Structure 1
Amino acid sequence: MSPNSTAEMPGELGTFAPFGEFDETLDSAESVGVDSGATLVKLCIRRSGGDLHFGTWPSPSRDRVLALLDDLAPERVGITGCGSPGVLGGLGRQAANPIEFDAWGHGANHMLDRQGLAGDEAYLLVSIGTGTSALLVDGDRVERVGGTALGGGTALGLGLTLTDCRSHSELAALAARGDRGRVDLLISDVYPDSEIPLAAEATAAAFGKLARSPEEKPLPEDLAAAIMGLVAENIALLSIAQARAAEVSRIVYGGSTLIDNDRVIDTVRLLGAVMGVESIVLPRGSHVGALGSMLLGT
């Protein structure tokens, strides 16, 4: 395990290790939850004192995750996600294998409770990972009610094609410096005199401005910002529609696409506010499935 600093962040759940690393003093665990996804493997580790530690590895690094689990020798392990058969097969010990949706629901309930945001009402849990799933959570009952193929995988694919960014962190950092208004066609471009009751900065057509000025080459950071906006806006609008269909007024967002991704976070929050829906972004939402699988571990 590589040394690093994992200072506690005020108001958030546990310590968050740099990508692919854990503090070398983390040499034992009471319980571990693993969410092995299509792109990333997420871990939630609880020590005997109750402290939580979160870590992330690329999915091809499952052997490193197995070695870490062997070193930690936890009493209880829970493993979920599409890659769980590979982790279970190499683990060499008994482990719980909860259904992914159940793990997400339990993890989200726990995070909301720890943040003082738990309530008696049902809510829509939206996990933005490689793709996106929408779950109706009502207490311990979890039901998948929708989703979309748009997600972090979409952003990464478009990012590689249009900007040559090869990782989520690289694309998110580039997007933070960009202006999607130089790429997207906005309402203010179509109705400059505010002739209709729509916000001037709202998107009329994603990437639509490029067709109007084909001779102007867009900057990579503006393309990255537009990519994140395209993904976030459509996920948020679909989620709001699903929440209304399910007759719930609160949407809780999690998933690995939210890691260090202010563009996506700000967009889903803004659209929720505009559409009259409460939008909560979980502070450790990328690891909601890992936390849930730890809670359901054996």
Structure 2
Amino acid sequence: MMLSTYFNADRISSFRSRILIALPVMLSIMVGSCKKTTLNTGNPATLQVFNALDEEVALRANLSGNHPIQYSTAQLMYNKFYLPNNNVFYIQSFPQPFSVYSETDTLPKDNPVLDIDLDLEKGKVYSLFLHGNKTNAAYTLISDQLPTPVAGDSVTFIRFANFSTGQVMSANLKGEPYGSLIQNLAFKSVSAFIPVKADMSVTDHEIEIRDQTSGTLIATYITYGLNRNSPYWSSPSMWLYKINTLVLTGKPGGSGSDMQMIYQMPHWW
């Protein structure tokens, strides 16, 4: 059942190794993407997109409103993996046509996985979660109210997004009561941002995601490099004074790319 997925030491070790290997790359890309924001003028809307589709579908984004899509210039959004250079869009047109195509569908006859018009407002920040599957894709659009980290307040802001098909979840820090962070988060729901302690009295937090009804452990996530106490510390931190969403994806009882897992979606670029 679901517990066996997460108590297999080899799988946990493999997943953590991949995260640690990818960490320097993610940091360098995120820092680089911070520099490019200065090129965006006119107070655009900022759209962050997370591809949570099942069955490991990578997507190409088309904002032109025209068909066929120009694959050579369309941003590639990997499945359940977030990079600001790939997943952040600066929107100047309102409303904004937004369609996504499967990476494998490259012919003019191919139809988009999803084709929508986004009703955004200039200067605002949005999160767009794509979920479902290639033949039955859906979306959830959130207008974000991002908290403002204050220097000297050693916290990290975390919220939770539940895009695990049919799942109702709770969240807690390891060793604390079930539901102490989030008591009840339904499928296709996003929580408020929660300030979590990140001062030198703690190291890396281990966050436990559980089935809300049974308390069964679904997934865990560790905030590697939380602060200078962490053996994985590097500068800039991905957590200290930062804002992140942790996205639960997959299906109950799923395997492979559809196994229930948590992924980080940073709100700093």
- Indicate the structure with greater helix content: 1
Structures share a fold, TM > 0.5?
no
Structure with greater Cα Rg: 1
- Indicate the structure with greater strand content: 2
TM-score normalized with structure 1 length: 0.26
TM-score normalized with structure 2 length: 0.28
